[in-house]
Chain A
Amino acid sequence: ETGVTQTPRHLVMGMTNKKSLKCEQHLGHNAMYWYKQSAKKPLELMFVYSLEERVENNSVPSRFSPECPNSSHLFLHLHTLQPEDSALYLCASSQAGGTTGELFFGEGSRLTVL
């Protein structure tokens, strides 16, 4: 596999469920990101991990819990979500400290909260 892979592609969950989104990158990068994409809104940066350490948390509610066990994997654990959390969640990776600055995105996980 190449690039950035996200699973599942679609997820429907109730407000009391606990689920996780998974992201895996095969690009040898060492920085990973979670973005939230809601309809008619700019992409919102949620979390940034560099060298497996969380370096940014943009005031995201605690019902979203990220985990980065190694430089290739990133998870977003979800619990007691609200209907307004329904969105496309995009994972991205980059080479931290690199000069290009380009982010490589996965295809996203479409989350629906009932």
Chain B
Amino acid sequence: AQSVTQPDIHITVSEGASLELRCNYSYGATPYLFWYVQSPGQGLQLLLKYFSGDTLVQGIKGFEAEFKRSQSSFNLRKPSVHWSDAAEYFCAVGAFSSNTGKLIFGQGTTLQVKP
């Protein structure tokens, strides 16, 4: 069965510091992988996605993620965190059929940014 694990429930970084959020997945085939961000009181916004090709994908707001098949990981990175990046981040794996695009989400990582 497909599953996603985000080992870190809560992370605190200083503004300007680098960030890496971890994501491990379990999926029988080539996965479709996503990172979403959720600000308080808001819905989920897509940061980036991986389907195939280059294993380093660029997203919005300066985020990037690297797909590592050997480690079943899709970690999210940002070289310099801004205070506005404080939010909850969700990794997801896509389980697609011909008529739907179902996503399986991890538990989420809450990012706190210190001034």
Q: How many residues of A contact B (CB 8 A)?
A: 31
Once the chains are docked, how many angstroms separate the CA of A55 from the CA of B99?
Answer: 9
Once the chains are docked, how many angstroms separate the CA of A45 from the CA of B4?
Answer: 14
Residues of A within 8 A of B (CB): 4, 6, 31, 33, 40-43, 45, 48, 50-51, 55-56, 90, 92, 94-108
Partner of B100, one of A43, A48, A102: A48
Residues of chain B in range 81-115 having any CB-CB distance to chain A below 8 Å? 90, 94, 96, 98-108
Once the chains are docked, how many angstroms separate the CA of A97 from the CA of B43?
Answer: 23
Asked if residues B99 and A50 are in contact (CB atoms below 8 Å), the reply is yes
Asked if residues A4 and B99 are in contact (CB atoms below 8 Å), the reply is no
* Chain A residues whose CB sits within 8 angstroms of the CB of B44 once the complex forms: 90, 92, 103, 105
* Chain B residues whose CB sits within 8 angstroms of the CB of A97 once the complex forms: 98-99
Closest residue on chain B to residue A91 by CB atoms: B43
Tell me if B63 counts as interface (CB < 8 A to partner A): no
Asked if residues A42 and B102 are in contact (CB atoms below 8 Å), the reply is no
Tell me if B27 counts as interface (CB < 8 A to partner A): no
14 further A-B contacts with Cβ under 8 Å, apart from A56-B100, A102-B46, A105-B43, are A31-B101, A41-B107, A45-B103, A55-B100, A90-B43, A96-B100, A97-B99, A99-B51, A101-B94, A101-B101, A102-B34, A102-B49, A103-B44, A107-B42
Asked if residues B43 and A98 are in contact (CB atoms below 8 Å), the reply is no
Residues of chain B in range 67-92 having any CB-CB distance to chain A below 8 Å? 90
